[in-house]
Structure 1
Protein backbone atom coordinates (compact mmCIF):
# COMPACT_ATOMS: atom_id res chain seq x y z
CA UNK A 1 0.00 0.00 0.00
CA UNK A 2 2.81 2.41 0.86
CA UNK A 3 4.68 1.67 -2.38
CA UNK A 4 1.50 2.09 -4.44
CA UNK A 5 0.80 5.42 -2.69
CA UNK A 6 4.37 6.55 -3.49
CA UNK A 7 3.98 5.50 -7.14
CA UNK A 8 0.80 7.54 -7.42
CA UNK A 9 2.53 10.62 -5.98
CA UNK A 10 5.64 10.28 -8.15
CA UNK A 11 3.83 9.05 -11.23
CA UNK A 12 6.28 6.19 -11.65
CA UNK A 13 8.34 3.59 -9.77
CA UNK A 14 11.65 1.93 -10.44
CA UNK A 15 11.03 -1.60 -11.75
CA UNK A 16 13.28 -3.15 -9.15
CA UNK A 17 11.21 -1.62 -6.36
CA UNK A 18 7.83 -3.03 -7.49
CA UNK A 19 6.48 -5.64 -5.00
CA UNK A 20 5.19 -8.87 -6.53
CA UNK A 21 1.70 -8.29 -5.11
CA UNK A 22 1.28 -5.06 -7.14
CA UNK A 23 2.17 -6.89 -10.34
CA UNK A 24 -0.16 -9.81 -9.49
CA UNK A 25 -3.04 -7.37 -9.04
CA UNK A 26 -2.02 -5.45 -12.21
CA UNK A 27 -1.79 -2.22 -10.19
CA UNK A 28 1.46 -1.29 -11.95
CA UNK A 29 2.60 -1.87 -15.54
CA UNK A 30 5.92 -1.38 -17.25
CA UNK A 31 6.35 1.88 -19.14
CA UNK A 32 7.57 1.04 -22.67
CA UNK A 33 8.85 4.56 -23.25
CA UNK A 34 10.93 4.45 -20.06
CA UNK A 35 12.17 0.81 -19.73
CA UNK A 36 13.62 1.24 -16.25
CA UNK A 37 10.30 2.41 -14.72
CA UNK A 38 6.80 1.11 -14.04
CA UNK A 39 3.71 3.29 -13.76
CA UNK A 40 0.66 2.93 -11.45
CA UNK A 41 -2.73 1.85 -12.82
CA UNK A 42 -6.15 2.84 -11.36
CA UNK A 43 -7.74 -0.04 -9.37
CA UNK A 44 -10.78 -0.04 -11.65
CA UNK A 45 -8.57 -0.75 -14.65
CA UNK A 46 -6.56 -3.29 -12.68
CA UNK A 47 -9.80 -5.07 -11.70
CA UNK A 48 -10.61 -5.72 -15.35
CA UNK A 49 -7.22 -7.31 -15.94
CA UNK A 50 -7.20 -9.25 -12.66
CA UNK A 51 -10.82 -10.34 -12.25
CA UNK A 52 -11.69 -10.68 -15.92
CA UNK A 53 -10.07 -14.12 -16.40
CA UNK A 54 -11.67 -15.37 -13.18
CA UNK A 55 -15.10 -14.19 -14.31
CA UNK A 56 -14.59 -15.90 -17.66
CA UNK A 57 -13.63 -19.12 -15.85
CA UNK A 58 -16.71 -18.91 -13.62
CA UNK A 59 -18.93 -18.32 -16.63
CA UNK A 60 -17.49 -21.41 -18.36
CA UNK A 61 -17.99 -23.46 -15.20
CA UNK A 62 -21.60 -22.31 -14.89
CA UNK A 63 -22.20 -23.32 -18.48
CA UNK A 64 -20.59 -26.69 -17.84
CA UNK A 65 -22.75 -27.16 -14.73
CA UNK A 66 -25.94 -26.37 -16.65
CA UNK A 67 -24.89 -28.76 -19.39
CA UNK A 68 -24.25 -31.58 -16.90
CA UNK A 69 -27.56 -30.91 -15.13
CA UNK A 70 -29.44 -30.96 -18.42
CA UNK A 71 -27.85 -34.26 -19.46
CA UNK A 72 -28.46 -35.86 -16.08
CA UNK A 73 -32.09 -34.73 -16.04
CA UNK A 74 -32.69 -36.79 -19.17
CA UNK A 75 -31.24 -39.85 -17.43
CA UNK A 76 -33.25 -39.05 -14.28
CA UNK A 77 -36.47 -39.38 -16.28
CA UNK A 78 -35.38 -42.81 -17.53
CA UNK A 79 -34.32 -43.83 -14.01
CA UNK A 80 -37.60 -42.72 -12.44
CA UNK A 81 -39.62 -44.56 -15.08
CA UNK A 82 -37.67 -47.76 -14.58
CA UNK A 83 -37.96 -47.45 -10.81
CA UNK A 84 -41.72 -47.19 -11.05
CA UNK A 85 -42.09 -50.10 -13.41
CA UNK A 86 -39.28 -52.51 -12.53
CA UNK A 87 -37.58 -51.86 -9.21
CA UNK A 88 -39.14 -53.41 -6.11
CA UNK A 89 -39.90 -51.23 -3.10
CA UNK A 90 -37.58 -53.34 -0.92
CA UNK A 91 -34.03 -53.83 -2.17
CA UNK A 92 -31.04 -55.62 -0.62
CA UNK A 93 -27.77 -53.69 -0.91
CA UNK A 94 -24.48 -55.55 -0.61
CA UNK A 95 -20.88 -54.34 -0.54
CA UNK A 96 -19.40 -51.55 1.52
CA UNK A 97 -18.92 -49.18 -1.45
CA UNK A 98 -22.50 -49.62 -2.68
CA UNK A 99 -23.97 -49.20 0.81
CA UNK A 100 -21.93 -46.07 1.60
CA UNK A 101 -22.71 -44.48 -1.77
CA UNK A 102 -26.43 -45.17 -1.35
CA UNK A 103 -26.54 -43.80 2.20
CA UNK A 104 -24.50 -40.74 1.17
CA UNK A 105 -26.95 -40.02 -1.64
CA UNK A 106 -30.02 -40.55 0.57
CA UNK A 107 -28.78 -38.36 3.43
CA UNK A 108 -27.32 -35.84 0.97
CA UNK A 109 -30.73 -35.52 -0.66
CA UNK A 110 -32.60 -35.31 2.64
CA UNK A 111 -34.80 -32.20 2.63
CA UNK A 112 -36.68 -31.97 5.93
CA UNK A 113 -36.05 -34.80 8.43
CA UNK A 114 -33.40 -37.41 9.25
CA UNK A 115 -34.17 -40.09 11.86
CA UNK A 116 -31.54 -42.56 13.05
CA UNK A 117 -31.39 -45.26 15.72
CA UNK A 118 -27.94 -46.56 16.64
CA UNK A 119 -27.71 -49.62 18.93
CA UNK A 120 -24.49 -51.21 20.11
CA UNK A 121 -23.07 -48.50 22.37
CA UNK A 122 -20.14 -46.34 21.24
CA UNK A 123 -19.46 -46.23 17.49
CA UNK A 124 -16.03 -46.64 15.82
CA UNK A 125 -14.15 -43.38 15.32
CA UNK A 126 -13.78 -43.96 11.55
CA UNK A 127 -17.56 -44.37 11.20
CA UNK A 128 -18.18 -41.24 13.29
CA UNK A 129 -15.74 -39.23 11.17
CA UNK A 130 -17.55 -40.20 7.96
CA UNK A 131 -20.95 -39.51 9.47
CA UNK A 132 -19.99 -36.14 10.96
CA UNK A 133 -19.42 -34.28 7.70
CA UNK A 134 -22.50 -35.82 6.10
CA UNK A 135 -24.72 -34.94 9.07
CA UNK A 136 -23.38 -31.41 9.46
CA UNK A 137 -24.12 -30.72 5.80
CA UNK A 138 -27.69 -31.94 6.30
CA UNK A 139 -28.10 -29.74 9.36
CA UNK A 140 -26.76 -26.73 7.44
CA UNK A 141 -29.55 -27.30 4.89
CA UNK A 142 -32.12 -27.03 7.67
CA UNK A 143 -32.81 -30.76 8.03
CA UNK A 144 -34.15 -31.74 11.46
CA UNK A 145 -32.00 -34.61 12.74
CA UNK A 146 -33.03 -36.84 15.65
CA UNK A 147 -30.91 -39.76 16.84
CA UNK A 148 -31.47 -42.40 19.52
CA UNK A 149 -28.45 -44.12 21.07
CA UNK A 150 -28.08 -46.46 24.01
CA UNK A 151 -27.24 -45.04 27.45
CA UNK A 152 -23.77 -46.58 27.28
CA UNK A 153 -22.58 -44.04 24.66
CA UNK A 154 -22.43 -41.46 27.45
CA UNK A 155 -19.18 -43.06 28.63
CA UNK A 156 -17.71 -43.34 25.11
CA UNK A 157 -15.65 -40.22 24.45
CA UNK A 158 -15.51 -40.36 20.60
CA UNK A 159 -19.28 -40.79 20.31
CA UNK A 160 -19.91 -38.01 22.83
CA UNK A 161 -17.56 -35.74 20.89
CA UNK A 162 -19.60 -36.42 17.75
CA UNK A 163 -22.82 -35.74 19.68
CA UNK A 164 -21.43 -32.45 21.00
CA UNK A 165 -20.67 -31.25 17.47
CA UNK A 166 -23.97 -32.22 15.86
CA UNK A 167 -26.11 -30.95 18.76
CA UNK A 168 -24.25 -27.63 18.59
CA UNK A 169 -25.47 -27.42 14.98
CA UNK A 170 -29.07 -28.20 15.91
CA UNK A 171 -29.35 -32.00 16.05
CA UNK A 172 -31.35 -33.67 18.84
CA UNK A 173 -30.02 -36.78 20.61
CA UNK A 174 -31.64 -39.05 23.18
CA UNK A 175 -30.65 -42.36 24.78
CA UNK A 176 -32.36 -45.51 25.99
CA UNK A 177 -31.12 -48.56 27.84
CA UNK A 178 -31.92 -50.66 24.78
CA UNK A 179 -32.31 -49.69 21.12
CA UNK A 180 -33.83 -52.61 19.26
CA UNK A 181 -32.68 -52.04 15.67
CA UNK A 182 -30.30 -49.91 13.65
CA UNK A 183 -32.38 -47.60 11.48
CA UNK A 184 -32.06 -44.62 9.14
CA UNK A 185 -35.12 -42.83 7.72
CA UNK A 186 -34.88 -39.92 5.28
CA UNK A 187 -37.88 -37.60 4.90
CA UNK A 188 -40.16 -40.54 5.86
CA UNK A 189 -39.77 -41.70 2.26
CA UNK A 190 -36.89 -44.17 2.39
CA UNK A 191 -35.57 -46.29 5.26
CA UNK A 192 -32.49 -48.44 5.73
CA UNK A 193 -32.16 -51.39 8.12
CA UNK A 194 -29.40 -54.03 8.45
CA UNK A 195 -29.85 -57.27 6.55
CA UNK A 196 -29.02 -59.43 9.57
CA UNK A 197 -28.34 -59.29 13.30
CA UNK A 198 -25.25 -61.48 13.16
CA UNK A 199 -23.17 -59.27 10.84
CA UNK A 200 -24.84 -55.86 10.50
CA UNK A 201 -22.31 -54.69 7.91
CA UNK A 202 -22.79 -57.55 5.45
CA UNK A 203 -25.81 -55.96 3.86
CA UNK A 204 -28.51 -53.31 4.13
CA UNK A 205 -32.16 -53.36 3.13
CA UNK A 206 -33.41 -50.22 1.40
CA UNK A 207 -37.16 -49.74 1.94
CA UNK A 208 -39.26 -47.37 -0.15
CA UNK A 209 -42.65 -48.93 0.37
CA UNK A 210 -44.74 -46.09 1.95
CA UNK A 211 -46.56 -48.40 4.35
CA UNK A 212 -43.40 -50.02 5.70
CA UNK A 213 -41.60 -46.68 6.01
CA UNK A 214 -44.60 -45.27 7.89
CA UNK A 215 -44.55 -48.16 10.37
CA UNK A 216 -40.79 -47.74 10.96
CA UNK A 217 -41.16 -43.98 11.43
CA UNK A 218 -43.96 -44.42 13.96
CA UNK A 219 -41.88 -46.98 15.82
CA UNK A 220 -39.04 -44.47 15.97
CA UNK A 221 -41.40 -41.76 17.25
CA UNK A 222 -42.56 -44.03 20.08
CA UNK A 223 -38.99 -44.90 20.97
CA UNK A 224 -38.08 -41.20 20.94
CA UNK A 225 -40.86 -40.34 23.40
CA UNK A 226 -39.48 -42.81 25.96
CA UNK A 227 -35.83 -41.81 25.54
CA UNK A 228 -33.79 -39.48 27.75
CA UNK A 229 -32.44 -36.23 26.18
CA UNK A 230 -28.65 -35.92 26.01
CA UNK A 231 -27.10 -32.59 27.03
CA UNK A 232 -23.35 -32.83 26.24
CA UNK A 233 -22.61 -29.58 28.07
CA UNK A 234 -23.99 -30.99 31.33
CA UNK A 235 -21.27 -31.56 33.97
CA UNK A 236 -22.78 -34.99 34.78
CA UNK A 237 -24.21 -36.50 31.59
CA UNK A 238 -24.49 -39.96 33.14
CA UNK A 239 -27.26 -38.85 35.49
CA UNK A 240 -29.46 -40.73 37.95
CA UNK A 241 -32.25 -41.28 35.41
CA UNK A 242 -29.88 -42.91 32.92
CA UNK A 243 -28.15 -45.06 35.54
CA UNK A 244 -31.44 -46.24 37.06
CA UNK A 245 -32.97 -47.01 33.67
CA UNK A 246 -29.91 -49.01 32.66
CA UNK A 247 -29.85 -50.99 35.90
CA UNK A 248 -33.57 -51.80 35.74
CA UNK A 249 -33.14 -53.10 32.20
CA UNK A 250 -30.26 -55.33 33.29
CA UNK A 251 -32.24 -56.71 36.24
CA UNK A 252 -35.31 -57.41 34.14
CA UNK A 253 -33.06 -59.39 31.79
CA UNK A 254 -31.76 -61.35 34.80
CA UNK A 255 -35.34 -62.26 35.72
CA UNK A 256 -35.83 -63.46 32.13
CA UNK A 257 -32.84 -65.76 32.52
CA UNK A 258 -30.48 -64.01 30.11
CA UNK A 259 -26.73 -64.43 30.57
CA UNK A 260 -24.32 -61.55 31.16
CA UNK A 261 -22.94 -61.94 27.64
CA UNK A 262 -26.37 -61.71 26.03
CA UNK A 263 -27.31 -58.69 28.17
CA UNK A 264 -24.02 -56.94 27.39
CA UNK A 265 -24.43 -57.42 23.65
CA UNK A 266 -28.02 -56.17 23.75
CA UNK A 267 -27.23 -53.08 25.82
CA UNK A 268 -23.97 -52.16 24.08
CA UNK A 269 -21.77 -52.51 27.16
CA UNK A 270 -19.03 -54.83 28.39
CA UNK A 271 -19.79 -58.16 30.04
CA UNK A 272 -17.72 -57.03 33.03
CA UNK A 273 -19.94 -53.97 33.55
CA UNK A 274 -23.07 -56.12 33.46
CA UNK A 275 -21.54 -58.56 35.97
CA UNK A 276 -20.69 -55.64 38.29
CA UNK A 277 -24.29 -54.36 38.21
CA UNK A 278 -25.57 -57.85 39.02
CA UNK A 279 -22.99 -58.32 41.80
CA UNK A 280 -24.00 -55.10 43.56
CA UNK A 281 -27.70 -55.96 43.56
CA UNK A 282 -26.95 -59.54 44.66
CA UNK A 283 -25.05 -58.18 47.64
CA UNK A 284 -27.86 -55.74 48.42
CA UNK A 285 -30.50 -58.50 48.43
CA UNK A 286 -28.28 -61.16 50.00
CA UNK A 287 -28.58 -63.46 47.02
CA UNK A 288 -26.29 -66.47 46.80
CA UNK A 289 -27.02 -67.52 43.23
CA UNK A 290 -28.28 -66.24 39.91
CA UNK A 291 -31.55 -68.18 40.26
CA UNK A 292 -32.13 -66.81 43.75
CA UNK A 293 -31.43 -63.28 42.54
CA UNK A 294 -34.01 -63.66 39.77
CA UNK A 295 -36.56 -64.97 42.28
CA UNK A 296 -35.91 -62.13 44.74
CA UNK A 297 -36.16 -59.49 42.03
CA UNK A 298 -39.44 -60.94 40.80
CA UNK A 299 -41.01 -61.31 44.25
CA UNK A 300 -39.76 -58.30 46.22
CA UNK A 301 -41.24 -55.71 43.85
CA UNK A 302 -37.86 -53.99 43.61
CA UNK A 303 -38.41 -53.15 39.92
CA UNK A 304 -41.97 -51.90 40.34
CA UNK A 305 -41.01 -48.37 41.44
CA UNK A 306 -38.77 -45.70 40.02
CA UNK A 307 -35.86 -46.33 42.37
Structure 2
Protein backbone atom coordinates (compact mmCIF):
# COMPACT_ATOMS: atom_id res chain seq x y z
CA UNK A 1 0.00 0.00 0.00
CA UNK A 2 1.24 3.48 -0.93
CA UNK A 3 1.02 6.08 1.78
CA UNK A 4 0.82 9.86 1.21
CA UNK A 5 3.16 11.73 3.46
CA UNK A 6 2.62 15.45 4.12
CA UNK A 7 5.49 17.84 3.38
CA UNK A 8 6.04 21.44 4.54
CA UNK A 9 3.99 24.05 2.60
CA UNK A 10 7.17 25.79 1.40
CA UNK A 11 8.32 22.62 -0.32
CA UNK A 12 4.95 22.06 -2.00
CA UNK A 13 4.86 25.72 -3.18
CA UNK A 14 8.38 25.52 -4.59
CA UNK A 15 7.46 22.42 -6.60
CA UNK A 16 4.38 24.11 -8.02
CA UNK A 17 6.22 27.33 -8.83
CA UNK A 18 9.10 25.53 -10.49
CA UNK A 19 7.02 24.45 -13.49
CA UNK A 20 5.42 27.87 -13.80
CA UNK A 21 8.79 29.65 -13.69
CA UNK A 22 10.13 27.28 -16.32
CA UNK A 23 7.19 28.12 -18.60
CA UNK A 24 7.71 31.87 -18.02
CA UNK A 25 11.40 31.52 -18.92
CA UNK A 26 10.54 29.73 -22.15
CA UNK A 27 7.92 32.35 -23.05
CA UNK A 28 10.39 35.18 -22.39
CA UNK A 29 13.01 33.47 -24.58
CA UNK A 30 10.42 33.10 -27.33
CA UNK A 31 9.41 36.77 -27.10
CA UNK A 32 13.05 37.87 -27.38
CA UNK A 33 13.58 35.67 -30.44
CA UNK A 34 10.42 37.05 -32.07
CA UNK A 35 11.46 40.67 -31.39
CA UNK A 36 14.90 40.05 -32.91
CA UNK A 37 13.35 38.40 -35.97
CA UNK A 38 10.89 41.25 -36.58
CA UNK A 39 13.32 44.12 -35.84
CA UNK A 40 14.49 44.62 -39.49
CA UNK A 41 10.89 44.73 -40.70
CA UNK A 42 9.88 47.22 -37.99
CA UNK A 43 12.70 49.53 -39.09
CA UNK A 44 11.53 49.39 -42.70
CA UNK A 45 7.96 50.10 -41.63
CA UNK A 46 9.05 53.10 -39.57
CA UNK A 47 10.94 54.55 -42.54
CA UNK A 48 7.98 54.07 -44.85
CA UNK A 49 5.61 55.90 -42.52
CA UNK A 50 7.99 58.62 -41.34
CA UNK A 51 6.41 62.08 -40.85
CA UNK A 52 8.67 63.54 -43.56
CA UNK A 53 6.61 61.69 -46.18
CA UNK A 54 3.18 61.90 -44.58
CA UNK A 55 -0.18 63.32 -45.61
CA UNK A 56 -2.24 64.02 -42.50
CA UNK A 57 -5.92 64.98 -42.33
CA UNK A 58 -6.51 67.69 -39.70
CA UNK A 59 -10.11 67.97 -38.51
CA UNK A 60 -11.29 70.97 -36.49
CA UNK A 61 -9.78 74.43 -36.04
CA UNK A 62 -8.05 73.48 -32.79
CA UNK A 63 -6.10 70.68 -34.42
CA UNK A 64 -5.36 72.75 -37.51
CA UNK A 65 -4.09 75.67 -35.44
CA UNK A 66 -1.98 73.36 -33.27
CA UNK A 67 -0.30 71.90 -36.37
CA UNK A 68 0.27 75.40 -37.79
CA UNK A 69 1.74 76.58 -34.48
CA UNK A 70 4.17 73.66 -34.45
CA UNK A 71 5.21 74.19 -38.09
CA UNK A 72 5.80 77.92 -37.62
CA UNK A 73 7.74 77.29 -34.40
CA UNK A 74 10.05 74.98 -36.37
CA UNK A 75 10.33 77.31 -39.39
CA UNK A 76 13.83 78.78 -39.69
CA UNK A 77 14.21 80.25 -43.19
CA UNK A 78 11.06 81.16 -45.13
CA UNK A 79 7.29 80.94 -45.00
CA UNK A 80 5.13 81.27 -48.11
CA UNK A 81 1.43 82.05 -47.74
CA UNK A 82 -1.50 82.55 -50.07
CA UNK A 83 -4.38 84.38 -48.40
CA UNK A 84 -7.52 84.90 -50.52
CA UNK A 85 -9.28 88.14 -49.67
CA UNK A 86 -12.39 88.36 -47.58
CA UNK A 87 -13.41 89.63 -44.19
CA UNK A 88 -11.32 88.13 -41.41
CA UNK A 89 -12.73 88.22 -37.87
CA UNK A 90 -10.62 90.13 -35.37
CA UNK A 91 -9.84 86.92 -33.49
CA UNK A 92 -8.28 85.37 -36.61
CA UNK A 93 -6.22 88.49 -37.27
CA UNK A 94 -4.89 88.33 -33.71
CA UNK A 95 -4.04 84.63 -34.20
CA UNK A 96 -2.12 85.55 -37.34
CA UNK A 97 -0.22 88.30 -35.55
CA UNK A 98 0.73 86.01 -32.67
CA UNK A 99 1.89 83.31 -35.07
CA UNK A 100 3.89 85.58 -37.41
CA UNK A 101 5.58 87.86 -34.89
CA UNK A 102 8.03 85.22 -33.55
CA UNK A 103 8.98 84.37 -37.15
CA UNK A 104 9.87 87.98 -37.85
CA UNK A 105 11.84 88.22 -34.63
CA UNK A 106 13.86 85.13 -35.65
CA UNK A 107 14.64 86.71 -39.01
CA UNK A 108 12.45 84.33 -41.03
CA UNK A 109 11.46 85.67 -44.45
CA UNK A 110 7.72 85.77 -45.18
CA UNK A 111 6.16 86.20 -48.61
CA UNK A 112 2.38 86.59 -48.77
CA UNK A 113 0.02 86.75 -51.73
CA UNK A 114 -3.31 88.57 -51.47
CA UNK A 115 -5.89 89.48 -54.06
CA UNK A 116 -5.97 93.07 -55.37
CA UNK A 117 -9.06 93.79 -53.28
CA UNK A 118 -6.97 93.44 -50.11
CA UNK A 119 -5.55 96.88 -50.92
CA UNK A 120 -8.91 98.35 -49.91
CA UNK A 121 -9.33 96.34 -46.70
CA UNK A 122 -8.44 98.39 -43.56
CA UNK A 123 -8.01 95.17 -41.56
CA UNK A 124 -5.49 93.75 -44.02
CA UNK A 125 -3.56 97.01 -44.30
CA UNK A 126 -3.39 97.32 -40.51
CA UNK A 127 -2.08 93.76 -40.33
CA UNK A 128 0.60 94.53 -42.95
CA UNK A 129 1.68 97.65 -41.05
CA UNK A 130 2.64 95.54 -38.03
CA UNK A 131 5.48 93.97 -40.01
CA UNK A 132 6.60 96.89 -42.15
CA UNK A 133 10.16 96.67 -40.81
CA UNK A 134 10.59 92.90 -41.06
CA UNK A 135 11.74 90.58 -43.82
CA UNK A 136 8.20 90.46 -45.18
CA UNK A 137 6.98 90.97 -48.75
CA UNK A 138 3.36 91.39 -49.80
CA UNK A 139 2.05 91.18 -53.34
CA UNK A 140 -1.43 91.13 -54.82
CA UNK A 141 -2.90 89.41 -57.84
CA UNK A 142 -6.36 89.54 -59.38
CA UNK A 143 -7.39 85.95 -58.67
CA UNK A 144 -6.42 83.29 -56.15
CA UNK A 145 -7.85 79.82 -55.80
CA UNK A 146 -7.42 78.83 -52.15
CA UNK A 147 -5.39 79.32 -49.01
CA UNK A 148 -1.88 77.86 -48.84
CA UNK A 149 0.89 77.90 -46.20
CA UNK A 150 4.38 76.46 -46.76
CA UNK A 151 7.19 76.35 -44.17
CA UNK A 152 10.85 75.88 -45.09
CA UNK A 153 10.12 73.62 -48.08
CA UNK A 154 9.25 70.94 -45.50
CA UNK A 155 5.52 71.14 -44.85
CA UNK A 156 2.48 72.66 -46.57
CA UNK A 157 -1.09 73.19 -45.40
CA UNK A 158 -4.13 73.36 -47.67
CA UNK A 159 -7.87 73.41 -46.83
CA UNK A 160 -10.06 70.65 -48.24
CA UNK A 161 -13.46 72.03 -47.25
CA UNK A 162 -15.07 75.39 -47.93
CA UNK A 163 -15.73 76.00 -44.23
CA UNK A 164 -12.01 75.45 -43.55
CA UNK A 165 -12.75 73.01 -40.75
CA UNK A 166 -10.66 70.30 -42.41
CA UNK A 167 -7.15 70.70 -43.80
CA UNK A 168 -4.30 68.58 -45.11
CA UNK A 169 -0.80 68.68 -43.64
CA UNK A 170 1.56 67.66 -46.45
CA UNK A 171 5.09 66.51 -45.69
CA UNK A 172 5.78 64.63 -48.90
CA UNK A 173 8.77 66.35 -50.57
CA UNK A 174 7.31 65.96 -54.06
CA UNK A 175 3.99 67.56 -53.15
CA UNK A 176 5.60 70.40 -51.21
CA UNK A 177 8.00 71.10 -54.09
CA UNK A 178 5.10 71.21 -56.56
CA UNK A 179 3.14 73.66 -54.40
CA UNK A 180 6.21 75.90 -54.10
CA UNK A 181 6.40 76.04 -57.91
CA UNK A 182 2.71 77.01 -58.04
CA UNK A 183 3.37 79.78 -55.52
CA UNK A 184 6.38 81.09 -57.46
CA UNK A 185 4.31 81.10 -60.67
CA UNK A 186 1.70 83.33 -59.05
CA UNK A 187 4.30 85.44 -57.22
CA UNK A 188 6.02 86.30 -60.49
CA UNK A 189 2.74 87.65 -61.89
CA UNK A 190 1.69 89.56 -58.78
CA UNK A 191 2.09 93.28 -58.03
CA UNK A 192 4.03 94.49 -54.95
CA UNK A 193 1.70 96.04 -52.41
CA UNK A 194 3.98 99.09 -52.30
CA UNK A 195 3.52 99.68 -56.04
CA UNK A 196 0.16 101.41 -55.61
CA UNK A 197 -3.26 100.52 -57.01
CA UNK A 198 -3.21 97.97 -59.85
CA UNK A 199 -6.62 98.97 -61.17
CA UNK A 200 -5.31 101.41 -63.73
CA UNK A 201 -7.52 102.26 -66.68
CA UNK A 202 -6.31 101.23 -70.12
CA UNK A 203 -6.79 103.41 -73.21
CA UNK A 204 -9.91 101.40 -73.98
CA UNK A 205 -11.48 102.68 -70.74
CA UNK A 206 -11.43 99.26 -69.05
CA UNK A 207 -9.51 98.62 -65.82
CA UNK A 208 -7.40 95.55 -65.09
CA UNK A 209 -9.99 94.18 -62.69
CA UNK A 210 -12.69 94.59 -65.33
CA UNK A 211 -10.53 92.60 -67.74
CA UNK A 212 -10.44 89.83 -65.13
CA UNK A 213 -14.22 90.02 -64.73
CA UNK A 214 -14.68 89.95 -68.51
CA UNK A 215 -12.62 86.78 -68.75
CA UNK A 216 -14.73 85.05 -66.10
CA UNK A 217 -17.97 86.27 -67.69
CA UNK A 218 -17.02 84.75 -71.02
CA UNK A 219 -16.19 81.49 -69.22
CA UNK A 220 -19.81 81.45 -68.00
CA UNK A 221 -19.39 82.23 -64.31
CA UNK A 222 -22.25 83.91 -62.43
CA UNK A 223 -21.78 87.11 -60.43
CA UNK A 224 -21.45 85.33 -57.08
CA UNK A 225 -18.73 83.00 -58.38
CA UNK A 226 -16.83 85.89 -59.98
CA UNK A 227 -16.99 87.91 -56.76
CA UNK A 228 -15.73 84.96 -54.72
CA UNK A 229 -12.83 84.21 -57.06
CA UNK A 230 -11.73 87.86 -57.20
CA UNK A 231 -12.15 88.46 -53.47
CA UNK A 232 -14.84 91.14 -53.59
CA UNK A 233 -18.47 91.36 -52.57
CA UNK A 234 -21.20 90.77 -55.13
CA UNK A 235 -22.33 94.42 -55.14
CA UNK A 236 -18.85 95.62 -56.09
CA UNK A 237 -18.59 92.93 -58.75
CA UNK A 238 -21.89 94.00 -60.31
CA UNK A 239 -20.77 97.63 -60.26
CA UNK A 240 -17.69 96.66 -62.28
CA UNK A 241 -19.86 94.63 -64.68
CA UNK A 242 -22.08 97.69 -65.19
CA UNK A 243 -19.04 99.87 -65.96
CA UNK A 244 -17.75 97.20 -68.33
CA UNK A 245 -21.11 97.14 -70.11
CA UNK A 246 -21.08 100.93 -70.43
CA UNK A 247 -17.54 100.94 -71.83
CA UNK A 248 -18.47 98.35 -74.47
CA UNK A 249 -21.92 99.81 -75.19
CA UNK A 250 -23.81 96.72 -74.09
CA UNK A 251 -27.53 96.84 -73.37
CA UNK A 252 -27.92 93.33 -71.92
CA UNK A 253 -25.98 90.58 -70.22
CA UNK A 254 -26.13 88.33 -73.27
CA UNK A 255 -24.93 91.13 -75.53
CA UNK A 256 -22.11 91.90 -73.09
CA UNK A 257 -20.62 88.46 -73.52
CA UNK A 258 -20.75 88.81 -77.29
CA UNK A 259 -19.16 92.27 -77.21
CA UNK A 260 -16.39 91.10 -74.91
CA UNK A 261 -15.49 88.32 -77.31
CA UNK A 262 -15.79 90.62 -80.33
CA UNK A 263 -13.76 93.48 -78.80
CA UNK A 264 -10.57 91.45 -78.49
CA UNK A 265 -9.84 92.80 -75.00
CA UNK A 266 -9.17 89.30 -73.75
CA UNK A 267 -6.41 88.93 -76.31
CA UNK A 268 -4.44 91.72 -74.66
CA UNK A 269 -1.74 91.02 -72.11
CA UNK A 270 -2.81 92.38 -68.70
Q: Structure 1 length as normaliser, TM-score?
A: 0.67
Instruction: Report which structure shows greater RCO (CA 8 Å, sep ≥6).
Output: 2
Is contact 1:91-1:206 (8 Å) kept? yes
Partners of 2:70 and 2:141 in 1: CA distance? 29
Is contact 1:116-1:184 (8 Å) kept? yes
Map of 1:271-286 to 2, 5 A cutoff? 271-286=234-249
How far does residue 241 in structure 1 lie from its aligned partner after superposition?
4.6
- Worse-superposed segment, 88-97 or 238-247: 238-247
How far does residue 181 in structure 1 lie from its aligned partner after superposition?
1.9
How far does residue 240 in structure 1 lie from its aligned partner after superposition?
3.7
Candidates 244, 251, 260, aligned match of 1:297? 260
How far does residue 302 in structure 1 lie from its aligned partner after superposition?
2.4
Partners of 1:84 and 1:171 in 2: CA distance? 36
- What are the ranges of 5 or more consecutive residues in structure 2 without an aligned counterpart? 1-44
Pair 1:93 & 2:58 matched: yes
User: Which residue in 2 is equivalent to 1:160?
Assistant: 125
Is contact 1:92-1:195 (8 Å) kept? no
Pair 1:113 & 2:78 matched: yes
Distance 1:170-1:244 versus aligned 2 partners, 3 A rule: farther
Partners of 2:65 and 2:157 in 1: CA distance? 12
**SS at 1:249 equivalent:** helix
Candidates 162, 175, 181, aligned match of 1:212? 175
Is contact 1:114-1:185 (8 Å) kept? yes
Is contact 1:178-1:267 (8 Å) kept? yes
Partners of 1:127 and 1:82 in 2: CA distance? 37
**SS at 1:116 equivalent:** strand
The CA RMSD over aligned residues, in Å, is 2.1
Candidates 103, 113, 121, aligned match of 1:148? 113
User: Which residue in 2 is equivalent to 1:238?
Assistant: 197
How far does residue 83 in structure 1 lie from its aligned partner after superposition?
7.7
User: Which residue in 1 is equivalent to 2:4?
Assistant: none
**SS at 1:100 equivalent:** helix
| Matched residue count | 221
> Cα deviation per residue 1:171-203 (whole Å; 9 max; x = unaligned)?
10001111112100000110000022x32x211
How far does residue 164 in structure 1 lie from its aligned partner after superposition?
1.7
Distance 1:273-1:145 versus aligned 2 partners, 3 A rule: same
How far does residue 129 in structure 1 lie from its aligned partner after superposition?
1.1
- What are the ranges of 5 or more consecutive residues in structure 1 without an aligned counterpart? 1-80
How far does residue 104 in structure 1 lie from its aligned partner after superposition?
0.7
**SS at 2:256 equivalent:** helix
Distance 1:129-1:250 versus aligned 2 partners, 3 A rule: same
Distance 1:257-1:211 versus aligned 2 partners, 3 A rule: same
Partners of 1:239 and 1:288 in 2: CA distance? 28
Pair 1:191 & 2:156 matched: yes
**SS at 1:167 equivalent:** coil
Distance 1:255-1:135 versus aligned 2 partners, 3 A rule: same
Is contact 1:107-1:134 (8 Å) kept? yes
